[in-house]
A = this chain, B = another copy of it.
Amino acid sequence: MDHNLLRDLLEQVRDGRTDVGAAAERLRHLPFEDLGFAKVDHHRALRHGVPEVIFGLGKAPEHVVDIAKKLQEKASNLLITRTTKECAAMVLEAIPDAEYFPLSGCIRVWKDKTIFGRGKVGIVCAGTSDIPVAEEARVTAEVMGNEVFSIYDVGVAGIHRLMSNREKLMEAKVLVVCAGMEGALPSAIGGLVSVPVIAVPTSVGYGAAFHGLAAMLGMLTSCASNVTVVNIDNGFGGAYVASLINRP
């Protein structure tokens, strides 16, 4: 429809109903969507298998259900992050296909299970308390069409466990590494592998952890050159970028 507006204008020029000067002037003032850009965007999303995503934090349950139902009609895959138990119950009732992941608060509708990735995405976390963030990452990486493996509880203070998983780590095309406290795991893993490591600081810890600040600063100053960082507890973001990296 929007597209027609542009075509209409051009047809008017073609047919001599509008002259060139007036058309040029109008074009400069057309809203961008009328130029059809949004459509390009829509198309691209389909191409890459990116699901529709709802960021659930702070949204009213009714609101989440409404958006979810609408989005789920036009997209085969849907991801809702950071919901509450109450919200999850309502969504599950409204959308029977949905899975709920209580540790991370994710809800997922995963109908199209096509694999888009070139290789495997590895999800790693340092301690058991980091699992909720790692789970958000895993659920995201899967729904975005990746082959995923997880290695949990391999903190830097137990290097033997980490070294035991060396071979596994080397299978990944890209790694998402979640760690709280001092956040040293991405550096250690970054030194073991040559693929990109997406570091996700978690808010796990107390005192000088300052809700993830210590881990975040540590990851940003990593001496391993293959480490980049996303926001504290942002398992979704870490897996999202990892999925893009894993695209052909």
Q: Are B206 and A156 touching (Cβ within 8 A)?
A: no
Q: List residues 201-240 of chain A with CB under 8 A from any CB of chain B.
A: 201, 203-234, 236-238, 240
Q: Are B40 and A24 touching (Cβ within 8 A)?
A: no
Tell which of B58, B212, B225 touches A241, judged by Cβ atoms closer than 8 Å: B225
Is A195 in contact with chain B by the CB < 8 A criterion?
yes
Q: Are A159 and B192 touching (Cβ within 8 A)?
A: yes
Choose, from A8-16, A70-78, A85-93, A107-115, the stretch at the interface: A8-16
Task: Say what secondary structure dominates the interface of chain A.
Answer: helix
CA distance A100 to B142 in the complex (A): 43
Q: Are B14 and A206 touching (Cβ within 8 A)?
A: no
Q: Which residues of B contact A50 (CB under 8 A)?
A: 194
Q: Which residues of B contact A236 (CB under 8 A)?
A: 225
Is A163 in contact with chain B by the CB < 8 A criterion?
yes
Q: Which residues of B contact A162 (CB under 8 A)?
A: 159
Give the 4 A-B residue pairs with the shortest CB-CB distance, closest first.
A207-B232, A184-B184, A157-B191, A214-B217
Is A148 in contact with chain B by the CB < 8 A criterion?
no
A-B contact pairs, 9 of them (CB 8 A): A7-B24, A31-B164, A44-B194, A155-B187, A182-B219, A196-B244, A207-B221, A208-B221, A225-B241
Q: Which residues of B contact A210 (CB under 8 A)?
A: 217
Q: Are A220 and B228 touching (Cβ within 8 A)?
A: no
Q: How many residues belonging to A are interface residues under a CB distance threshold of 8 Å?
A: 104
Q: Are B160 and A222 touching (Cβ within 8 A)?
A: no
User: Closest CB-CB distance, A55 to chain B, in whole Å?
Assistant: 8
Q: Are A10 and B38 touching (Cβ within 8 A)?
A: no
Tell which of B38, B220, B228 touches A214, judged by Cβ atoms closer than 8 Å: B220
Q: Known contacts A195-B244, A228-B237; can you find 4 more A-B pairs with CB under 8 A?
A: A7-B24, A32-B164, A182-B218, A201-B207
Tell which of B163, B165, B213, B214 touches A159, judged by Cβ atoms closer than 8 Å: B163
